Amino acid sequence: PASEFDAWVVPAPLGGAPRRVVELGRALRWSPDGSQIAFVRAGGSAGDALWVARSDGGSRREVVPIRGAMHLHWPVWSHDGQYIYFNYSISTANREPASIYRVAAAGGPIKPVVLTARRAAFPFPTLDGKGVVYAANPSSVDLALWWRPLDGGEATRLTTGVGEYAEPSMTTDGRTMVTSLTEFHRALTVFTMNAGGLAPQPITDGTTGDIDPAVS
């Protein structure tokens, strides 16, 4: 039987029979030239490992082994295919602390890209190879988007305001970026206690994060 974390390929756009590429793999990512894939093998409480294989799933090799119960998420290739960037955290959900590392696709030691005691996650190397866009919260509760040069220069914040930014990606011409934005709304609601009464009615709009109501 298929395992919980097998990775499959489905022909597109017309569809067709799915084909299993790797067993015990998830978060599959193709290299820029399409010749290789990277995928994560989850190891439960022991942590996760990162593997690389040919695009058909053959010649698999482990490039980041399981170590220290660290969890590895969101692998992404550099645009020259030389490196794979990823989230690295003791948490299974990229909670604090979470940092960004990279490893050579051919294997070797992992190296830090953005280290923090809080959260830095979802790296996306820029097309010119000079920097990385990522989500981080060095001075706020929510994740904002940042850009950092890979030569060790200062990071630049790209977004402001309320909401949690994550999963940035960029078009091939480098002119448009897409990202997910999660906004949390918490409103006070009133409802009648008798059966058949009015449906719950919000009495605040949720933009101010209201909690702990009390009846006068």
For the chain, what is the mean pLDDT?
90
4 pLDDT higher than 90: no
At 2 the pLDDT is: 43
Integer angstrom CA distances of residue 172 from 13, 30, 166: 20, 15, 19
Instruction: Centre a 10 Å sphere on the Cβ of residue 60 and count the other Cβ atoms it contains.
Output: 15
At 5 the pLDDT is: 79
- Give residue 1's pLDDT band: very low, low, confident or very high (50, 70, 90): very low
193 pLDDT higher than 70: yes
The average pLDDT across 113-132 equals: 95
SS3 at position 140: coil
Report the percentage of the chain scoring pLDDT > 90: 62
214 pLDDT higher than 60: yes
Contacts with 199 (C-beta within 8 Å, 6 or more apart), sequence order: 191
The average pLDDT across 36-53 equals: 95
The average pLDDT across 160-176 equals: 89
pTM equals 0.83
SS3 at position 79: coil
At 195 the pLDDT is: 66
Q: What is the rounded distance in angstroms from the CA atom of residue 147 to the CA atom of residue 76?
A: 16
For 51-105, what is each residue's pLDDT tens digit? 999 999 999 999 999 999 999 999 999 999 999 999 999 998 888 999 999 999 9
Q: Quick one: tokens of 202?
A: 């919000």
DSSP assignment string, 104-116 = ETT----EEEE--
SS3 at position 46: helix
At 67 the pLDDT is: 93
